[in-house]
Amino acid sequence: MADFKYEIIEEIGVLSENARGWRKELNRISWNGADPKYDIRDWAPDHEKMGKGVTLTEAEVLELKTLLNK
């Protein structure tokens, strides 16, 4: 797997936490120095390990909000 870099720009909130302390979080993250995107994924308590997640653009987040408000 290729190396990649990430920077958590904004920690928006925690959606849930499991018994091992991993938390499903909504954050804004810059991947490999690109513009930040919204990101939902599981994180270890120290943010050193992560699970699979979903990354969304601003437009996609707005569309998701519209869909959820129906």
Dig out the tokens for 34 from the structure.
């690109």
- Residue found by looking up tokens 């993250």 in the block: 29
Helix residue ranges, H only, 1-70: 58-68
Kindly tell me if the per-residue pLDDT of 1 is higher than 70.
no
Domain containing residue 26: CATH number: 2.30.31.70
- Model confidence at 7: pLDDT above 90: yes
Rounded to whole angstroms, how far apart are CA atoms 17 and 44?
10
The parent domain of residue 35 ranges over: 6-68
User: Rounded to an integer, what distance in angstroms lies between the CA atom of residue 67 and that of residue 56?
Assistant: 14
What pLDDT does 49 receive? 95
The count of domains in the chain is 1
Give tens-digit pLDDT for 10-30. Answer: 999 999 999 999 999 999 999
Residue 32 domain flag: yes
In a domain? residue 1: no
Identify the pLDDT of residue 3. 83
